[in-house]
């Protein structure tokens, strides 16, 4: 198996919050390079050493970096998109710049080449009772699409191809809960996959929100390739947790609110989601790894929701809650 080295540049103070987010999106291990750690070692741990190898000298002044390795396939590409989303959220929350530039760089491969190479792994697939997800460059026979809700996607650099377990869990719940004429709110929309699917399932309108400024262009392109009128859809950029003006613009009384993000963000936005959901509406949320599910579940209940469903797939959890 081939691997892609992915470097995320931060500061000593940023290591802990960054690694917490990386573990939250499903990574099992990281490598850390930090000048302060190396200098502490030089000052405190080398009294019995005769010399320090010259090859280690650059560590004295290196930029702090957290490195992860992603598989060179569709799963790795999807995970990179998820990493981009959570790093963008962390950067938006870091108003004082304490966590550094939080730039993401791939080592040893041109990112555009990798973004195209992974396409050979991304093929049409069925999901739920009647969903069929296909990349926009693939063509279907009429028989393959018969009696199916077909969603065409080209996620670009954003999270949301439909192959990730958390996305699939949300899509299955949307198939179950979205009704004709519903108003849908998609928090952390990425490629727009969940809100666009909601429109295909019969929702009257959808509002999508993401912290990544690239989201509106990508989501609107995906909307167009699915033949949906743009007057039924809007995409906003910002952080709903701490931007009151954005929350007012989004409004409330939504029949379905969906958020496929990470546990910490879901916990922080649970009360906001409650205020945006109409009485009798549902809050569908995933991006939750198994060990965090009880914590997220408790936050959703404390916000005022009642848990309706909880599903798990490969240690990813999706919680659906109702506002009674």
144 domain residue, yes or no: no
Nearest to 152 by CA among 143, 163, 165, 161: 161
In this structure, the answer to whether residues 69 and 207 fall within a common structural domain is no
Q: What is the pLDDT of residue 46?
A: 46
- According to DSSP, the residues that pair with 127 across neighbouring strands are 131
133 domain residue, yes or no: no
Nearest 5°: CA angle at 259, between 171 and 151? 30
Distance separating alpha carbons of residues 32 and 23, to the nearest angstrom: 14
What is the total count of domains within the chain?
Answer: 2
In this structure, the answer to whether residues 184 and 297 fall within a common structural domain is yes
In this structure, the answer to whether residues 171 and 306 fall within a common structural domain is yes
66 has pLDDT over 60: yes
Q: What is the pLDDT of residue 52?
A: 46
Distance separating alpha carbons of residues 187 and 209, to the nearest angstrom: 5
Q: Are strands 254-260 and 233-237 parallel, antiparallel or unpaired?
A: unpaired
In this structure, the answer to whether residues 255 and 106 fall within a common structural domain is no
In this structure, the answer to whether residues 278 and 222 fall within a common structural domain is yes
* CATH code for the domain of 22: 3.30.70
151 has pLDDT over 70: yes
In this structure, the answer to whether residues 95 and 201 fall within a common structural domain is no
Q: Of 67, 84, 118, which residue is a domain's last?
A: 118
Q: What is the pLDDT of residues 286-314, one digit of tens each?
A: 999 899 999 999 999 999 999 999 999 98
Range of the domain at 68: 3-118
145 domain residue, yes or no: no
211 domain residue, yes or no: yes
Q: What is the pLDDT of residues 12-56, one digit of tens each?
A: 999 999 999 998 888 888 888 887 655 554 455 444 444 444 545
Distance separating alpha carbons of residues 213 and 106, to the nearest angstrom: 21
Nearest to 293 by CA among 306, 276, 310: 310
Q: What is the pLDDT of residue 308?
A: 97
Q: What is the pLDDT of residue 138?
A: 82
Neighbours of 155 (CB within 10 A): 25
Nearest to 163 by CA among 68, 82, 264, 86: 82
pTM (two decimals): 0.79
- According to DSSP, the residues that pair with 43 across neighbouring strands are none
């Amino acid at each position: 198996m081939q691997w892609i080295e992915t470097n995320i540049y931060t500061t000593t103070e940023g290591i802990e919050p960054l690694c917490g987010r990386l573990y939250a999106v499903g990574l099992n291990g990281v490598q850390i390079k930090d000048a302060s750690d190396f200098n502490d070692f030089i000052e405190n741990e080398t009294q019995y050493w005769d010399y320090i190898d010259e090859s280690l000298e650059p560590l004295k002044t290196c930029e702090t970096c957290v490195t992860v390795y992603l598989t060179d396939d569709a799963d790795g590409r999807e995970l990179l998109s998820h990493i981009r989303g959570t790093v963008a959220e962390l950067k938006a929350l870091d108003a004082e710049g304490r966590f550094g530039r939080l730039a993401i760089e791939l080592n040893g491969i041109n990112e555009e080449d990798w973004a195209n190479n992974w396409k050979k792994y991304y093929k049409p697939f069925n999901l739920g009772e009647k969903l069929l997800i296909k990349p926009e460059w693939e063509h279907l026979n009429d028989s393959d699409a018969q009696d199916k809700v077909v969603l065409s996607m080209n996620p670009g650099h954003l999270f949301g191809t439909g192959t990730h377990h958390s996305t699939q869990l949300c899509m299955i719940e949307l198939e179950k809960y979205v009704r004709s004429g519903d108003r849908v709110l998609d928090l952390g929309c990425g490629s727009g996959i969940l809100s666009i699917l909601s429109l295909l399932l019969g929702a009257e309108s959808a509002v999508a929100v993401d912290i990544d400024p690239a989201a509106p262009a990508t989501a609107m392109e995906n909307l167009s390739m699915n033949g949906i009128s743009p007057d039924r859809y809007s995409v906003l950029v910002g952080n709903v947790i701490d931007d009151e003006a954005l929350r007012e613009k989004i409004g409330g009384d939504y029949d379905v609110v969906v958020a496929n993000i990470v546990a910490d963000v879901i916990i922080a936005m649970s009360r906001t989601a409650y205020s945006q959901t109409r009485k009798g509406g549902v809050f569908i949320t995933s991006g939750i790894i198994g060990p965090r599910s009880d914590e997220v579940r408790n936050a959703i209940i404390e916000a005022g929701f009642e848990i309706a469903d909880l599903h798990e797939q490969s240690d990813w959890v999706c919680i659906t809650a109702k506002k009674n």
